[in-house]
Structure 1
């Protein structure tokens, strides 16, 4: 299969399982207009995050890396009316775009967008959270995972995105590949979790995610 096949299949799955969604489509359009990089999760990936949050009965979710709030919308929609999502974003402009997208989606009152370096903001948070989604700077993924284990309740999930990086995680020496490799090693060695990682292909290319169950 080539990249065109991956993209065509992603489009097929999106049409089948997601369809048109005014708030999500508007969020992507607004992100593009605001000059944000097009690195959001794909619609099927967003749907997976939503299902994982619902599967654990999430009432509190932590997201590390907001960008324009596309994945935040998927996660926040999984919460009950009195649920809360805390999302951490280092860039004030990105945070402003995300807040506007969340308000348009009717979720502004359910989400706290915290601005600042994520290593600092997550250190100041109190748990427990039912699900943590880490999708920020990849060199810090091992540190995000370490803090996520402390903040996640037993039976909760930790999801770390973009860990395969077109296969460079195996032996690549760029900071993102090294960061992903460190995070995966930490997840594999931590006795407080049971974890695995999955390769993915699609409109976002060849990548993957890791998922850990907090024991």
Structure 2
């Protein structure tokens, strides 16, 4: 459980009951993830998922990049806002559970718009020439700073980068953290805040979501 998931369960239930209903395919995927997958809490879940959908619908992106597919919940949430001729590239290294997101991608109405790749995301980003309207990064935390530096020229003006887990179980409050992962996330947060090409806000949703817009 993350630092910011320690809400009163009743309040958590209230928030879910008073937000837009989760599509049936996502409810099924969430249930199967918790039944079959190790560390199911890594799934974006209802609240973050609905936020991703709303942001995607506001932006109406033609090109989305997602780093960290897991079981595909966030992928499908982001796909809800795709332009009619849009696509989402989603990357993960875990071949063992790839069957599960693939199954739900094929069942969804976005199957022709989702390009699911198994492989090293950093290698992909280094070679990438495409321009993205929306990027969601939720994996490979030790390379968050490098992803930001590499992707900056590949985000269009007005485009949005989303970084998950940027409060890192509250460890970002430590002045001299022992963990390299904590130092890396603190460096990312400081770098984004001081980059005049971008504007951002960090939402204390679950483990912290940084919403970063290119000017």
Fold conserved between structures, TM > 0.5: yes
1:25 aligns with 2:27: yes
SS at match of 2:212: strand
Deviations 1:132-180 (A, max 9, x none): 1110021111112222312210001111011102210122322332221
User: Aligned equivalents of 1:79 and 1:49: distance in 2?
Assistant: 12
- Choose which of 12, 15, 22 in structure 1 pairs with 2:14: 12
1:94 aligns with 2:100: no
Corresponding residue number in structure 1 for 2:72: 69
- Choose which of 194, 198, 203 in structure 1 pairs with 2:199: 194
Residue correspondence of structure 1 range 163-178 to structure 2 within 5 A: 163-171=166-174, 172-178=177-183
The answer on whether the counterparts of 1:66 and 1:94 sit within 8 Å (CA) in structure 2 is no
In structure 1, the gaps of 5 or more residues are none
Deviations 1:100-136 (A, max 9, x none): 1111223221111111121112222222111111100
The answer on whether the counterparts of 1:163 and 1:209 sit within 8 Å (CA) in structure 2 is yes
User: Aligned equivalents of 1:4 and 1:153: distance in 2?
Assistant: 36
Corresponding residue number in structure 2 for 1:161: 164
User: Aligned equivalents of 2:22 and 2:81: distance in 1?
Assistant: 18
Q: TM-score, normalized by length of structure 2?
A: 0.88
Structure 1, 94-103 or 84-93: larger mean CA deviation = 94-103
- Choose which of 125, 130, 134 in structure 2 pairs with 1:131: 134
